[in-house]
Protein backbone atom coordinates (compact mmCIF):
# COMPACT_ATOMS: atom_id res chain seq x y z
CA UNK A 1 0.00 0.00 0.00
CA UNK A 2 1.32 3.46 -0.92
CA UNK A 3 1.81 5.53 2.21
CA UNK A 4 2.30 8.92 0.55
CA UNK A 5 0.60 11.17 -1.97
CA UNK A 6 3.04 13.61 -3.56
CA UNK A 7 2.71 16.99 -5.22
CA UNK A 8 5.22 19.58 -6.42
CA UNK A 9 5.13 23.36 -6.64
CA UNK A 10 6.82 22.91 -10.04
CA UNK A 11 3.69 21.38 -11.56
CA UNK A 12 2.71 20.28 -15.05
CA UNK A 13 2.33 23.90 -16.18
CA UNK A 14 6.00 24.45 -15.39
CA UNK A 15 7.03 21.48 -17.50
CA UNK A 16 4.69 22.59 -20.31
CA UNK A 17 6.31 26.02 -20.29
CA UNK A 18 9.78 24.49 -20.34
CA UNK A 19 8.85 22.20 -23.24
CA UNK A 20 7.36 25.13 -25.15
CA UNK A 21 10.60 27.09 -24.68
CA UNK A 22 12.72 24.17 -25.96
CA UNK A 23 10.48 23.74 -29.03
CA UNK A 24 10.64 27.49 -29.72
CA UNK A 25 14.47 27.49 -29.58
CA UNK A 26 14.63 24.50 -31.94
CA UNK A 27 12.23 26.23 -34.33
CA UNK A 28 14.33 29.41 -34.29
CA UNK A 29 17.45 27.32 -34.90
CA UNK A 30 15.88 25.78 -38.00
CA UNK A 31 14.84 29.19 -39.33
CA UNK A 32 18.04 31.16 -38.77
CA UNK A 33 20.37 28.16 -39.19
CA UNK A 34 22.18 29.08 -35.98
CA UNK A 35 23.23 25.81 -34.38
CA UNK A 36 24.63 27.60 -31.34
CA UNK A 37 21.09 27.75 -29.95
CA UNK A 38 21.09 23.96 -29.71
CA UNK A 39 23.38 24.21 -26.67
CA UNK A 40 20.92 26.06 -24.39
CA UNK A 41 18.09 23.99 -25.83
CA UNK A 42 19.95 20.81 -24.88
CA UNK A 43 20.70 22.19 -21.41
CA UNK A 44 17.04 23.06 -20.89
CA UNK A 45 16.03 19.60 -22.09
CA UNK A 46 18.50 17.95 -19.70
CA UNK A 47 17.27 20.15 -16.86
CA UNK A 48 13.64 19.33 -17.64
CA UNK A 49 14.21 15.59 -17.89
CA UNK A 50 16.30 15.55 -14.71
CA UNK A 51 13.69 17.54 -12.79
CA UNK A 52 10.88 15.35 -14.03
CA UNK A 53 12.69 12.15 -13.08
CA UNK A 54 13.60 13.54 -9.62
CA UNK A 55 9.99 14.52 -9.01
CA UNK A 56 8.85 11.02 -9.87
CA UNK A 57 11.53 9.22 -7.85
CA UNK A 58 12.35 11.32 -4.77
CA UNK A 59 10.30 10.29 -1.74
CA UNK A 60 8.43 7.53 -3.55
CA UNK A 61 10.14 4.85 -1.47
CA UNK A 62 9.93 6.70 1.82
CA UNK A 63 8.17 4.68 4.51
CA UNK A 64 7.08 5.17 8.13
CA UNK A 65 6.90 2.25 10.53
CA UNK A 66 3.22 2.45 11.49
CA UNK A 67 2.40 -0.17 14.11
CA UNK A 68 -0.45 0.18 16.58
CA UNK A 69 0.79 1.63 19.86
CA UNK A 70 -0.83 3.37 22.83
CA UNK A 71 1.12 5.41 25.36
CA UNK A 72 -0.75 5.78 28.66
CA UNK A 73 0.14 8.25 31.39
CA UNK A 74 -1.21 10.77 33.88
CA UNK A 75 -1.13 14.58 33.59
CA UNK A 76 2.34 16.00 34.24
CA UNK A 77 4.19 12.79 33.35
CA UNK A 78 6.88 12.74 30.66
CA UNK A 79 7.47 10.31 27.83
CA UNK A 80 8.69 10.10 24.20
CA UNK A 81 7.18 9.20 20.87
CA UNK A 82 9.30 7.84 18.02
CA UNK A 83 8.78 8.16 14.27
CA UNK A 84 10.77 5.50 12.36
CA UNK A 85 11.49 6.43 8.72
CA UNK A 86 13.02 4.28 5.97
CA UNK A 87 14.23 5.69 2.64
CA UNK A 88 14.55 2.70 0.29
CA UNK A 89 15.42 4.92 -2.70
CA UNK A 90 18.91 5.59 -4.10
CA UNK A 91 18.02 9.31 -4.18
CA UNK A 92 18.94 11.28 -1.02
CA UNK A 93 16.53 13.81 0.49
CA UNK A 94 18.10 16.95 1.94
CA UNK A 95 16.80 19.90 3.97
CA UNK A 96 13.39 18.32 4.56
CA UNK A 97 10.79 19.30 7.15
CA UNK A 98 8.51 16.72 8.74
CA UNK A 99 5.32 17.99 10.40
CA UNK A 100 2.13 16.68 12.00
CA UNK A 101 -0.91 17.96 13.90
CA UNK A 102 -1.65 17.11 17.53
CA UNK A 103 -4.12 18.74 19.91
CA UNK A 104 -3.19 21.05 22.76
CA UNK A 105 -3.58 18.62 25.67
CA UNK A 106 0.00 17.41 25.16
CA UNK A 107 3.13 19.61 25.17
CA UNK A 108 5.68 18.47 22.58
CA UNK A 109 9.33 19.48 22.66
CA UNK A 110 9.87 20.35 18.96
CA UNK A 111 11.72 23.03 17.01
CA UNK A 112 8.67 24.85 15.68
CA UNK A 113 4.93 24.90 16.40
CA UNK A 114 2.29 26.72 14.38
CA UNK A 115 -1.39 27.24 15.15
CA UNK A 116 -3.82 25.87 12.56
CA UNK A 117 -7.63 25.52 12.53
CA UNK A 118 -7.23 21.76 13.10
CA UNK A 119 -4.76 22.11 16.00
CA UNK A 120 -1.08 22.74 16.58
CA UNK A 121 1.21 21.78 13.69
CA UNK A 122 4.62 20.68 14.95
CA UNK A 123 7.62 20.92 12.58
CA UNK A 124 10.88 18.93 12.77
CA UNK A 125 13.90 19.28 10.37
CA UNK A 126 14.63 15.91 8.75
CA UNK A 127 16.95 14.64 5.97
CA UNK A 128 17.70 11.17 4.55
CA UNK A 129 20.70 9.59 2.91
CA UNK A 130 20.13 7.23 0.00
CA UNK A 131 19.10 3.81 1.30
CA UNK A 132 19.02 5.36 4.77
CA UNK A 133 16.78 5.39 7.80
CA UNK A 134 16.09 7.87 10.56
CA UNK A 135 14.49 7.72 14.01
CA UNK A 136 12.85 10.93 15.19
CA UNK A 137 12.44 11.21 18.95
CA UNK A 138 9.85 13.68 20.22
CA UNK A 139 9.79 14.20 24.01
CA UNK A 140 6.45 15.35 25.42
CA UNK A 141 4.65 16.16 28.66
CA UNK A 142 1.06 15.09 29.28
CA UNK A 143 -1.24 18.05 29.84
CA UNK A 144 -4.88 17.34 30.59
CA UNK A 145 -7.21 14.33 30.26
CA UNK A 146 -7.97 13.07 26.76
CA UNK A 147 -6.67 11.18 23.75
CA UNK A 148 -3.99 12.54 21.42
CA UNK A 149 -4.06 11.36 17.81
CA UNK A 150 -1.46 12.41 15.26
CA UNK A 151 -2.95 13.55 11.98
CA UNK A 152 -2.04 15.35 8.74
CA UNK A 153 1.48 13.91 8.62
CA UNK A 154 3.40 15.86 5.99
CA UNK A 155 6.96 15.84 4.66
CA UNK A 156 8.30 18.71 2.55
CA UNK A 157 11.70 18.96 0.90
CA UNK A 158 13.30 21.02 -1.91
CA UNK A 159 13.72 19.75 -5.45
CA UNK A 160 17.50 19.63 -5.94
CA UNK A 161 17.40 20.79 -9.60
CA UNK A 162 14.64 23.40 -9.93
CA UNK A 163 14.51 24.42 -6.22
CA UNK A 164 10.75 23.99 -6.04
CA UNK A 165 9.11 22.22 -3.06
CA UNK A 166 7.95 18.59 -3.11
CA UNK A 167 5.15 17.74 -0.67
CA UNK A 168 4.39 14.24 0.63
CA UNK A 169 1.08 13.69 2.43
CA UNK A 170 0.72 10.59 4.63
CA UNK A 171 -2.42 8.69 3.60
CA UNK A 172 -3.12 6.05 6.31
CA UNK A 173 -4.13 6.88 9.86
CA UNK A 174 -1.11 7.05 12.12
CA UNK A 175 -1.70 4.29 14.67
CA UNK A 176 0.16 5.66 17.68
CA UNK A 177 -2.03 7.31 20.31
CA UNK A 178 -1.41 9.00 23.63
CA UNK A 179 -4.04 8.38 26.30
CA UNK A 180 -3.92 10.79 29.24
CA UNK A 181 -5.80 9.57 32.29
CA UNK A 182 -7.69 12.01 34.53
CA UNK A 183 -5.84 13.56 37.42
CA UNK A 184 -6.90 11.88 40.66
CA UNK A 185 -8.37 14.30 43.19
CA UNK A 186 -9.04 13.00 46.71
CA UNK A 187 -12.52 12.20 47.98
CA UNK A 188 -12.67 12.36 51.78
CA UNK A 189 -14.95 10.26 53.96
CA UNK A 190 -14.77 7.00 51.99
CA UNK A 191 -14.32 4.82 55.08
CA UNK A 192 -17.99 5.26 55.89
CA UNK A 193 -18.87 3.80 52.46
CA UNK A 194 -17.36 0.41 53.29
CA UNK A 195 -20.12 -1.59 54.98
CA UNK A 196 -20.66 -5.28 55.45
CA UNK A 197 -23.74 -6.93 54.02
CA UNK A 198 -24.03 -10.58 53.11
CA UNK A 199 -22.82 -11.30 49.59
CA UNK A 200 -20.47 -13.40 47.48
CA UNK A 201 -17.08 -11.76 48.13
CA UNK A 202 -14.69 -13.51 50.51
CA UNK A 203 -13.55 -11.18 53.31
CA UNK A 204 -11.77 -12.62 56.40
CA UNK A 205 -13.03 -9.93 58.82
CA UNK A 206 -16.67 -9.94 57.75
CA UNK A 207 -19.28 -10.49 60.50
CA UNK A 208 -21.35 -12.48 57.95
CA UNK A 209 -20.70 -16.23 57.65
CA UNK A 210 -21.79 -18.53 54.84
CA UNK A 211 -23.09 -21.65 56.60
CA UNK A 212 -23.05 -23.56 53.30
CA UNK A 213 -19.31 -23.01 52.83
CA UNK A 214 -17.34 -24.73 55.63
CA UNK A 215 -13.76 -23.54 55.72
CA UNK A 216 -12.17 -25.84 58.35
CA UNK A 217 -12.00 -26.30 62.09
CA UNK A 218 -10.32 -24.77 65.13
CA UNK A 219 -10.04 -25.59 68.80
CA UNK A 220 -13.27 -25.22 70.76
CA UNK A 221 -13.60 -22.32 73.20
CA UNK A 222 -16.24 -21.79 75.89
CA UNK A 223 -18.01 -19.01 73.93
CA UNK A 224 -18.70 -21.28 70.91
CA UNK A 225 -22.30 -22.55 70.44
CA UNK A 226 -22.52 -26.28 71.10
CA UNK A 227 -24.15 -27.00 67.71
CA UNK A 228 -20.95 -25.76 66.03
CA UNK A 229 -18.89 -28.66 67.35
CA UNK A 230 -17.44 -30.84 64.56
CA UNK A 231 -17.78 -34.31 66.11
CA UNK A 232 -15.83 -36.27 63.51
CA UNK A 233 -12.86 -33.91 63.66
CA UNK A 234 -13.04 -33.90 67.47
CA UNK A 235 -12.91 -37.71 67.53
CA UNK A 236 -9.81 -37.76 65.31
CA UNK A 237 -7.76 -35.36 67.43
CA UNK A 238 -9.35 -36.34 70.80
CA UNK A 239 -10.19 -32.69 71.46
CA UNK A 240 -13.32 -30.63 70.77
CA UNK A 241 -13.18 -28.84 67.40
CA UNK A 242 -15.43 -26.00 66.20
CA UNK A 243 -16.62 -25.63 62.61
CA UNK A 244 -15.28 -22.55 60.77
CA UNK A 245 -17.22 -21.08 57.83
CA UNK A 246 -16.14 -18.70 55.09
CA UNK A 247 -16.92 -15.05 55.77
CA UNK A 248 -18.43 -13.19 52.84
CA UNK A 249 -19.64 -9.69 52.14
CA UNK A 250 -21.26 -7.69 49.38
CA UNK A 251 -19.15 -4.56 49.15
CA UNK A 252 -19.57 -3.82 45.45
CA UNK A 253 -20.08 -0.30 44.16
CA UNK A 254 -22.14 1.19 41.37
CA UNK A 255 -20.60 4.57 40.51
CA UNK A 256 -22.96 6.84 38.57
CA UNK A 257 -21.45 9.96 37.00
CA UNK A 258 -23.70 12.82 35.91
CA UNK A 259 -21.80 14.80 33.27
CA UNK A 260 -24.75 17.14 32.70
CA UNK A 261 -26.06 20.30 34.34
CA UNK A 262 -29.42 21.98 33.87
CA UNK A 263 -30.02 25.64 33.18
CA UNK A 264 -32.83 27.52 34.93
CA UNK A 265 -34.94 26.84 31.82
CA UNK A 266 -34.37 23.09 32.19
CA UNK A 267 -31.96 22.67 29.26
CA UNK A 268 -29.08 20.21 29.54
CA UNK A 269 -25.47 21.17 28.93
CA UNK A 270 -22.11 19.58 29.68
CA UNK A 271 -21.04 20.25 33.25
CA UNK A 272 -18.49 23.02 33.75
CA UNK A 273 -17.06 20.76 36.44
CA UNK A 274 -16.57 17.77 34.10
CA UNK A 275 -12.84 17.31 34.60
CA UNK A 276 -13.22 17.35 38.38
CA UNK A 277 -16.06 14.80 38.19
CA UNK A 278 -13.81 12.40 36.27
CA UNK A 279 -10.95 13.08 38.70
CA UNK A 280 -13.16 12.13 41.66
CA UNK A 281 -14.34 9.01 39.82
CA UNK A 282 -10.76 7.95 39.10
CA UNK A 283 -9.93 8.35 42.78
CA UNK A 284 -12.97 6.27 43.77
CA UNK A 285 -11.78 3.48 41.46
CA UNK A 286 -8.27 3.56 42.90
CA UNK A 287 -9.64 3.47 46.44
CA UNK A 288 -11.88 0.52 45.55
CA UNK A 289 -8.93 -1.26 43.96
CA UNK A 290 -6.85 -0.78 47.12
CA UNK A 291 -9.58 -2.37 49.27
CA UNK A 292 -10.40 -5.10 46.72
CA UNK A 293 -13.89 -3.72 46.11
CA UNK A 294 -15.68 -4.58 42.87
CA UNK A 295 -17.08 -1.57 40.99
CA UNK A 296 -18.99 -0.64 37.90
CA UNK A 297 -19.41 2.77 36.27
CA UNK A 298 -22.33 4.40 34.47
CA UNK A 299 -21.85 7.75 32.69
CA UNK A 300 -24.69 9.62 30.98
CA UNK A 301 -22.61 10.76 27.99
CA UNK A 302 -23.04 8.84 24.75
CA UNK A 303 -21.88 8.41 21.20
CA UNK A 304 -24.41 9.37 18.52
CA UNK A 305 -26.57 6.43 17.30
CA UNK A 306 -25.28 4.11 20.03
CA UNK A 307 -26.19 3.03 23.59
CA UNK A 308 -27.44 6.11 25.51
CA UNK A 309 -24.74 5.83 28.19
CA UNK A 310 -21.23 4.51 28.84
CA UNK A 311 -20.88 1.48 31.08
CA UNK A 312 -17.88 -0.30 32.53
CA UNK A 313 -19.11 -3.68 33.79
CA UNK A 314 -18.56 -4.88 37.35
CA UNK A 315 -15.03 -6.00 38.05
CA UNK A 316 -11.87 -5.56 40.07
CA UNK A 317 -8.13 -5.98 39.66
CA UNK A 318 -5.49 -4.08 37.73
CA UNK A 319 -6.99 -4.73 34.31
CA UNK A 320 -10.37 -3.48 35.48
CA UNK A 321 -8.71 -0.36 36.92
CA UNK A 322 -7.02 0.21 33.57
CA UNK A 323 -10.37 -0.19 31.76
CA UNK A 324 -11.98 2.39 34.08
CA UNK A 325 -9.22 4.96 33.52
CA UNK A 326 -9.32 4.30 29.77
CA UNK A 327 -13.06 4.95 29.67
CA UNK A 328 -12.71 8.19 31.63
CA UNK A 329 -9.87 9.36 29.39
CA UNK A 330 -11.67 8.71 26.09
CA UNK A 331 -14.96 10.48 26.81
CA UNK A 332 -14.99 13.76 24.87
CA UNK A 333 -16.49 16.96 26.20
CA UNK A 334 -18.64 17.54 23.10
CA UNK A 335 -20.52 14.21 23.23
CA UNK A 336 -24.35 14.23 23.45
CA UNK A 337 -25.96 13.79 26.87
CA UNK A 338 -28.66 11.50 28.21
CA UNK A 339 -30.87 12.94 30.98
CA UNK A 340 -29.74 11.33 34.23
CA UNK A 341 -33.31 10.54 35.31
CA UNK A 342 -33.74 8.39 32.17
CA UNK A 343 -30.51 6.54 32.91
CA UNK A 344 -31.65 5.88 36.49
CA UNK A 345 -35.01 4.63 35.23
CA UNK A 346 -33.17 2.11 33.02
CA UNK A 347 -31.00 0.93 35.89
CA UNK A 348 -34.00 0.54 38.23
CA UNK A 349 -35.85 -1.51 35.60
CA UNK A 350 -32.79 -3.73 35.04
CA UNK A 351 -32.54 -4.26 38.79
CA UNK A 352 -28.87 -5.23 38.87
CA UNK A 353 -27.51 -2.21 40.74
CA UNK A 354 -24.92 -3.03 43.40
CA UNK A 355 -25.59 -2.70 47.13
CA UNK A 356 -23.66 0.60 47.36
CA UNK A 357 -24.42 3.42 44.92
CA UNK A 358 -22.09 6.42 44.68
CA UNK A 359 -23.47 9.37 42.74
CA UNK A 360 -21.00 11.91 41.28
CA UNK A 361 -22.28 15.17 39.81
CA UNK A 362 -25.17 17.59 40.01
CA UNK A 363 -28.18 16.35 41.94
CA UNK A 364 -31.53 17.96 41.03
CA UNK A 365 -34.96 17.12 42.56
CA UNK A 366 -35.95 14.64 39.83
CA UNK A 367 -32.66 12.75 40.10
CA UNK A 368 -32.96 12.79 43.88
CA UNK A 369 -36.42 11.22 43.62
CA UNK A 370 -34.99 8.18 41.76
CA UNK A 371 -32.08 7.83 44.18
CA UNK A 372 -34.46 7.85 47.16
CA UNK A 373 -36.44 5.08 45.47
CA UNK A 374 -33.22 3.02 45.38
CA UNK A 375 -32.58 3.89 49.02
CA UNK A 376 -36.04 2.60 50.01
CA UNK A 377 -35.25 -0.68 48.23
CA UNK A 378 -32.29 -1.21 50.56
CA UNK A 379 -29.42 0.34 48.64
CA UNK A 380 -26.82 2.50 50.36
CA UNK A 381 -26.72 5.82 48.48
CA UNK A 382 -23.82 8.28 48.72
CA UNK A 383 -23.19 11.60 47.01
CA UNK A 384 -19.79 13.10 46.15
CA UNK A 385 -19.70 16.88 46.69
CA UNK A 386 -16.78 19.14 45.64
CA UNK A 387 -15.09 21.24 48.28
CA UNK A 388 -13.53 24.68 47.87
CA UNK A 389 -12.15 25.19 44.38
CA UNK A 390 -12.81 21.56 43.41
CA UNK A 391 -9.33 20.15 44.11
CA UNK A 392 -10.89 17.75 46.60
CA UNK A 393 -14.33 16.40 47.44
CA UNK A 394 -16.30 14.92 50.31
CA UNK A 395 -18.65 11.95 50.24
CA UNK A 396 -21.77 11.80 52.38
CA UNK A 397 -24.85 9.63 52.66
CA UNK A 398 -27.87 10.83 50.71
CA UNK A 399 -30.03 12.90 53.05
CA UNK A 400 -33.52 11.62 53.83
CA UNK A 401 -36.43 12.93 51.77
CA UNK A 402 -39.46 14.52 53.37
CA UNK A 403 -41.46 11.36 52.72
CA UNK A 404 -38.92 9.26 54.60
CA UNK A 405 -38.89 11.68 57.50
User: For 129-183, what is each residue's pLDDT tens digit?
Assistant: 878 888 999 999 999 999 999 999 999 888 765 567 888 899 999 999 999 999 9
Question: Is residue 196 over pLDDT 60?
Answer: no
Residue range 187-192+251-397 in CATH 3.30.70: no
Question: Which candidate, 62, 67, 80, 84, places its Cα nearest to that of 156?
Answer: 62
CB-neighbour burial class of residue 205 (10 A; exposed 0-12, middle 13-18, buried 19+): exposed
For residues 69 and 176, what is the distance between their CA atoms, to the nearest angstrom?
Answer: 5
Q: List every span in the chain annotated with CATH 2.60.40.10.
A: 1-180
Indicate the pLDDT class of residue 41, thresholds 50, 70 and 90: low
The reported pLDDT for the residue numbered 274 is 95
CA–CA–CA angle 110, 115, 120 (5° rounding): 50
pLDDT higher at 337 or 228: 337
Signed CA dihedral, 103, 106, 107, 112: sign only: negative
Question: Is residue 236 over pLDDT 90?
Answer: no
For residues 180 and 144, what is the distance between their CA atoms, to the nearest angstrom?
Answer: 7
pLDDT higher at 23 or 286: 286
Find out whether 363 and 354 touch, Cβ atoms under 8 Å: no
- CA dist 266 to 212, 269, 339, Å? 52, 10, 11
For residues 324-328, give the mean pLDDT.
96
Indicate the pLDDT class of residue 205, thresholds 50, 70 and 90: very low
Find out whether 45 and 201 touch, Cβ atoms under 8 Å: no
Question: Which candidate, 146, 161, 136, 124, places its Cα nearest to that of 49?
Answer: 161
Kindly report the number of other CB atoms within 10 A of residue 345's CB atom.
13
Beta bridge partners of 396: 383
For residues 248 and 184, what is the distance between their CA atoms, to the nearest angstrom?
Answer: 30
Characterize the bridge pairing of strands 380-387 and 295-299. unpaired
What percent of the chain has pLDDT above 90?
45
Range with lowest mean pLDDT among 10-24, 51-65, 323-337: 10-24
The half-sphere exposure of 341 on its side-chain side, counting CA atoms within 13 A, is 13
For residues 1 and 256, what is the distance between their CA atoms, to the nearest angstrom?
Answer: 45
Which strand (E) or helix (H) includes residue 279? Answer: helix 274-290
How high does pLDDT run on average in the chain? 83
Q: List every span in the chain annotated with CATH 3.40.50.
A: 187-192+251-397
Find out whether 182 and 259 touch, Cβ atoms under 8 Å: no
Question: Is residue 11 over pLDDT 90?
Answer: no
For residues 297 and 312, what is the distance between their CA atoms, to the nearest angstrom?
Answer: 5
Find out whether 340 and 374 touch, Cβ atoms under 8 Å: no
Kindly report the number of other CB atoms within 10 A of residue 67's CB atom.
7
Question: Which candidate, 359, 292, 326, places its Cα nearest to that of 177?
Answer: 326
Find out whether 198 and 208 touch, Cβ atoms under 8 Å: yes
- CA dist 173 to 4, 68, 114, 373, Å? 11, 10, 21, 48
What percent of the chain has pLDDT above 70?
78
Q: What predicted TM-score, i.e. pTM, was given to this entire model?
A: 0.78
Q: What is the pLDDT of residues 257-300, one digit of tens each?
A: 999 998 888 888 999 999 999 999 999 999 999 988 889 999 99
SS3 content of the chain, % helix, strand, coil (to 5): 25, 40, 35
Q: In what order do the strands lie in the sheet with 241-249?
A: 201-202, 241-249, 209-219
- CA dist 177 to 2, 73, 138, Å? 22, 11, 13
For residues 145 and 215, what is the distance between their CA atoms, to the nearest angstrom?
Answer: 46
Indicate the pLDDT class of residue 18, thresholds 50, 70 and 90: low
pLDDT higher at 378 or 357: 357
- By residue count, the chain amounts to 405
Second CATH level (architecture) for the domain 1-180: Sandwich (2.60)
- CA dist 99 to 85, 122, 159, Å? 13, 5, 18
Amino acid sequence: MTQWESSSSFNNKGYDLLLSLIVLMLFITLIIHQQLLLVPAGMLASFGIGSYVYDRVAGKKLSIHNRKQTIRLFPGEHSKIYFHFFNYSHVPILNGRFSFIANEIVHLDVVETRDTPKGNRHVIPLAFANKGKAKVKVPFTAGSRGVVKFSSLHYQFPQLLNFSQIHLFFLPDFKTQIVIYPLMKPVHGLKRVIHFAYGEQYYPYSPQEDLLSPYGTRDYVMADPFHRVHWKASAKVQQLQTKVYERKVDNSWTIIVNTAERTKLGNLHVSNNLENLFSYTAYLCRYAEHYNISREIYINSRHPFSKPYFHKPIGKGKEDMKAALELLARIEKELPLTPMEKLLQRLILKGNIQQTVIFVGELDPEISLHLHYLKKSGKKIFHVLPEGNGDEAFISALSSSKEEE
